[in-house]
Amino acid sequence: QKEVEQDPGPLSVPEGAIVSLNCTYSNSAFQYFMWYRQYSRKGPELLMYTYSSGNKEDGRFTAQVDKSSKYISLFIRDSQPSDSATYLCAMSTNMIIFGKGTRLHILP
Amino acid sequence: DTGVSQNPRHKITKRGQNVTFRCDPISEHNRLYWYRQTLGQGPEFLTYFQNEAQLEKSRLLSDRFSAERPKGSFSTLEIQRTEQGDSAMYLCASSPLGGRVETQYFGPGTRLLVL
């Protein structure tokens, strides 16, 4: 079992819809949980990070962590075509372990 | 632009040749990381510097790979005797001393194709 599991997609949703992206993990030692956005042929860009279980909101983005279930989510409200990208979940102890990334397409 | 920069952005080489990539971190960032990303995968950690000291190396970093950060500023990653399996995006990231590991800022990457 890989340390971080993420469905690669692709996930296609209409503009304006709520997007839900998820990851599961196996290592209880992970302390920080991150979401990165990566556009084609670009480096990853940190969107959000959180430390504890619960929700963290930043504009249209909400990150959710459930440590008891080893499950994290990213919700995107009012999705826009510019949100089309690959979304990588990542977790860290002393180094970052990335998921494979989910390719997201927002259809105009 | 004061972000992380990487050069070249693209490199095509023949199998067996040596290649060198350069990373310029954000000014005053003491920590510098190298990652490799293959198609359909997330970035995988290769190595990490704090100032000029290379503190950690992944088992992915075979003997053909060497990284340096001689003055604690820019870093180079060299791959000797390239193989087709080395084709990937090589990403560099930097973070400030005292910053948590998750506060890394990534560069645009160098895309390597080995023919």
Per-residue pLDDT tens over the stretch B18-77: 999 999 999 989 999 999 999 999 999 999 999 999 998 998 888 999 999 998 899 999
Residue B28 has a pLDDT of 83
The torsion angle over the Cα atoms of residues B81, B85, B88 and B92, rounded to 10 degrees, is -50
Q: Which of A43, A92, A100 is nearest residue B42 as measured by Cβ atoms?
A: A100
> A18: pLDDT confidence band, cut at 50, 70 and 90?
very high
Q: Residue B84 above 70 pLDDT? A: yes
For residues B92-102, give the mean pLDDT: 78
> B88: pLDDT confidence band, cut at 50, 70 and 90?
very high
**CB burial of residue A27 (10 Å; 0-12, 13-18, 19+):** exposed
Residue among A34, A37, A19, A38 nearest A76 (CA)? A19
**Does residue A90 contact residue A99 with C-beta atoms inside 8 Å?**
yes
Strand ranges in chain A using DSSP code E only, listed in sequence order: 4-6, 11-14, 19-25, 32-38, 45-50, 54-58, 61-66, 71-76, 85-92, 96-98, 102-107
Q: Which two tokens stand for residue B82?
A: 């390239």
Residues A43, B102: C-beta atoms closer than 8 Å: no
For residues A76-100, give the mean pLDDT: 93
Q: Which two tokens stand for residue A31?
A: 């302390």
Residues B106, A45: C-beta atoms closer than 8 Å: yes
Q: Give Cα A94 to chain centroid, integer Å.
A: 20
Q: Which of B45, B106, B109 is nearest residue A95 as measured by Cβ atoms?
A: B45
Residue A52 has a pLDDT of 80
Using the Cβ of A42 and the Cβ atoms of chain B, whether some distance falls under 8 Å is answered with yes
For residues A47-75, give the mean pLDDT: 93
Residue B86 DSSP SS3: helix
> A47: pLDDT confidence band, cut at 50, 70 and 90?
very high
